Every structure is written in structure tokens, then in C-alpha cells.
Amino acid sequence: MRTSRLASILAIGAITVMAIAPEASATPRGGQLHITKDCTGYTGLAGQTCTVSASNVRAIPNGAVITYASGVVNGVLDSDLTLDAGPGNVVHGHVNLDLGSLSGVVVLSGGTGKFNHMQASVSVAHDHGDIWTWDGDYAFGNN
């Protein structure tokens, strides 16, 4: 009887650990996000794009395309955006960029595929010519 009870307790413990383990492996991962983007050809119109030319985050490869839903109005780009990193992998966000000061912010929040649970808050700065940078914090995890 005692052996049977101990076996039952051990089995319940093992089932509990297996139920909790997937949650533990889904903990957020993140850090600093550094992106360089090339906006050659961008003239401030809705639907135009920039292309990621360097990224320290594997999920955002060189060649990923950033599309702006709205255009520049009175020297400000205040627009929703999408960052498309390949089939089924799109992250959504919003940019507020003052073209007078050449600085602003981007907030990314979820999307599809590998971006389903991404969050990021980054500063936008002009580098040179048509080159811009995004620098800030990001995290992937369950929401």
C-alpha cells in the first residue's frame, strides 16, 4: 500500500513538472535592439518602404522591409508601420518621427509568425544620407 501511494505521488509530481515545463521555456528573451535601415527612394508618401541593412536580432534579417501606412505631414511622420521579415513573419508598430530634429520613437507590438509576442521600444536617429538607426530594448515572450 505504501509503495503504491509513493508511486502515485511521484506520478502526480512528474505530470505537474511536465505541465509547468513548457511555460518555463517560454520565458521572455530580449535585450538591446540595434537596426540600421536604408531609406533610399523614400519621399514621405504613404505605403513607401525602407530596408533593414543591419540588425543584431536574428529574427530581423538584412533585407527585411519596413512599410509606412501614412505619409509625412508638416514635417512629422506619425504612422503605423509593418516590418516584414519574410513569409508569415510580420511585426506591427507605430513611429513618431520629427524630421526637423531628425529623431523620434518606434514602438513594436506583436505580429505574426516569429513576431507573435514581440515588444520593442526604440529611438530613431538619422545617421547619414538615407541611413537611419533604431536603438532600444526588445523582448519576445508570451503575452
How far apart are the C-alpha atoms of 10 and 32, rounded to whole Å? 42
Size of the chain, expressed as the number of residues it contains: 143
Instruction: Find the mean pLDDT for residues 120-126.
Output: 97
| Residue pLDDT, tens place only, 44-53 | 999 999 999 9
3-class state of residue 78 by DSSP? strand
* Domain ranges across the chain: 28-140
**Which set of grid coordinates corresponds to residue 99?**
524630421
Model confidence band, residue 6 (pLDDT cutoffs 50, 70, 90): very low
3-class state of residue 124 by DSSP? strand
Instruction: Find the mean pLDDT for residues 122-137.
Output: 97
The pLDDT, as a whole number, for residue 16 is: 34
Which residues does 16 contact at the CB level (< 8 Å), separation at least 6? Answer: none
3-class state of residue 113 by DSSP? helix
Distances in whole angstroms, Cα of residue 12 to Cα of each of 34, 136, 143: 46, 44, 28
End-to-end CA distance of the chain: 45
Q: What is the mean pLDDT of the chain?
A: 85
